[in-house]
């Protein structure tokens, strides 16, 4: 049986029709959580339909058109990942996931998805992996961000579910954007550090109705990480919780709207298991209804850990606003995100 370790307690394994009884019991535990967003769990409501679901994926795998795998935590099935579509001719695959409450909060879905995406790009030569998610499904969107995917757009009222037409967000990652697995030197490390910075910056974006989730930066920092504002007379040093909470509030209570930040330039140096990045950034948005634009510099430190590269600290300094700038000094310092 196909088996890949995800951590000391979890494994990614094949999920086959003969396991339908166990699969059904798991889906019953996951039904309320999964059913909020997608009708997928309703397709397995008894043993016959659960068997049919797994047989359908077995048939797709035989035709090289899809695959399904279970996530086991201490031997118990708690979730899974799948290629809902796998088209080797076009080089495009679509990945999906689900999890029951007992499997949440451990990063298992993200790690399992990385296994599948690694295989699609590196073994099968696929060009693009897509992630379709219901707008508002923040947990699924967080996984897409952690995987370094790009949000490509929203299809409004794409499908009906429970009497309401739902929007779908389209996310995707291309083969050239995906870091090589293992401890690949050089360009592979640079790609991974680029991904971490992209996840950090995207966490604050609330343009076009996006729902920002500043908390996602916990996934890319070590738990002891520090973020430092050096925009005034004295530096202000935050732990992750102290940094996240006020910025999440500002980005969701109407204080700061249509906000985005992006790297304009960067220089990255890697020294074995540590790395440093010096970036120039720009930002813009509405602060209390007034348009502003700003810029500044940040320095970011990275460490290679047993679970991959992580940020360990980040410090920034804003370029002071002047009379000719579009933002006042007070506004510029108030809305800075990183």
Whether 53 contacts 34, CB under 8 Å: no
Query: 133 is written with which tokens?
Result: 């998610």
Task: Identify the helix (H) or strand (E) that includes residue 200.
Answer: helix 187-202
**CB distance 334 to 322 below 8 Å:** no
List C-alpha distances in Å: 210 to 119, 127, 149, 214: 31, 27, 15, 12
Determine what percent of the chain falls in helix, strand and coil, rounding each to the nearest 5: 35, 40, 25
Rg (alpha carbons) of the chain, rounded to whole number: 22
pLDDT of residue 303: 94
- The structure tokens listed for 253 are 């209570």
Q: How far apart are CA 15 and CA 1, in angstroms?
A: 9
What CA–CA distance (Å, rounded) separates 326 from 295? 11
Architecture of domain 214-338: Roll (3.10)
138, 213 Cβ separation under 8 angstroms? yes
Quote the crossing angle between the two packed helices 138-146 and 187-202, to the nearest 10°.
150
pLDDT at 139: 82
Residue 175 CB partners (closer than 8 Å, separation 6+): 121, 125, 126, 127, 128
Q: What's the confidence (pLDDT) of residue 121? A: 94
Provide the phi-psi class of 133: left if phi over 0, else alpha when psi is between -120 and 50, else beta. beta
Q: What gap in Å lies between CA 306 and CA 303, rounded to an integer?
A: 10
Q: What is the distance, to the nearest Å, from the Cα of residue 65 to the centroid of all Cα atoms in its chain?
A: 25
DSSP, residue by residue, 324-336? TSSS-HHHHHHH-
CA angle 99, 5, 28 (to 5 degrees): 20
Q: Which helix (H) or strand (E) covers residue 21, if one does?
A: helix 20-35
How far is the C-alpha of 101 from the C-alpha of 33, rounded, in Å?
A: 7
Domain coordinates in residue numbering, the chain: 214-338
Res 1: pLDDT: 60
The whole-number pLDDT of residue 327 equals 39
Question: How confident is the prediction along the chain (338 residues), in pLDDT tens digits per residue?
Answer: 678 888 878 999 999 999 999 999 999 999 888 877 777 777 888 999 999 999 999 999 999 999 999 999 999 999 999 999 999 999 999 999 999 999 887 888 988 999 999 999 999 999 999 999 988 888 888 888 888 888 888 888 888 877 888 888 999 999 988 876 544 444 568 888 888 998 999 899 998 888 888 999 999 999 999 999 998 888 999 999 999 999 999 999 999 999 989 888 889 998 888 999 999 999 999 999 999 999 999 999 999 887 789 999 999 999 875 443 443 333 333 345 54
Order the strands of the 67-73 sheet from edge to edge: 3-5, 10-14, 67-73, 76-87, 92-99, 128-134, 164-174, 150-161
């Amino acid at each position: 049986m196909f088996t890949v370790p995800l951590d000391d307690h979890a494994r990614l394994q094949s999920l086959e029709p003969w396991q339908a009884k166990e699969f059904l019991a798991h889906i019953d535990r996951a039904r309320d959580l999964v059913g909020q967003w997608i009708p997928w769990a309703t397709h397995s409501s008894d043993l016959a339909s659960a068997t049919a679901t797994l047989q359908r994926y077995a048939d797709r795998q035989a035709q090289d058109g899809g695959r399904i795998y279970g996530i086991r935590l201490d031997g118990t099935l708690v979730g899974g990942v799948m290629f809902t579509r796998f088209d080797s001719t076009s080089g495009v695959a679509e990945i999906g996931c689900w999890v029951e409450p007992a499997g949440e909060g451990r990063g298992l879905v993200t790690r399992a998805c990385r296994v599948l995406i690694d295989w699609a790009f590196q073994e099968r030569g696929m060009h693009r992996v897509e992630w379709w998610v219901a707008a508002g499904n923040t947990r699924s969107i967080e996984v897409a961000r952690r995987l370094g995917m790009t949000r490509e757009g929203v299809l409004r009222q794409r499908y009906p579910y429970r009497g309401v037409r739902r929007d779908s967000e389209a996310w995707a990652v291309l083969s050239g954007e995906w870091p090589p697995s293992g401890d690949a030197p050089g360009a592979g490390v640079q790609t991974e550090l680029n991904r971490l910075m992209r996840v950090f910056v995207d966490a604050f974006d609330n343009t076009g109705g996006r729902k920002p989730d500043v908390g996602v930066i916990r996934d890319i920092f070590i738990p002891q990480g520090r973020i430092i504002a050096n925009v005034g007379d004295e530096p202000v040093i935050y732990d992750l919780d102290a940094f996240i909470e006020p910025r999440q509030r500002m980005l969701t209570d109407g204080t700061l709207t249509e906000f985005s930040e992006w790297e304009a330039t960067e220089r990255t140096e890697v020294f074995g298991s540590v790395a440093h990045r010096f970036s120039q950034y720009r930002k813009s948005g509405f602060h209390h209804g007034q348009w502003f634009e700003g810029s500044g510099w940040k320095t970011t430190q990275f460490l290679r850990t047993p679970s991959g590269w992580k940020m360990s600290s980040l410090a920034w300094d804003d370029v002071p606003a002047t009379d000719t700038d579009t933002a006042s000094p007070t506004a510029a310092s108030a809305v800075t995100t990183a």
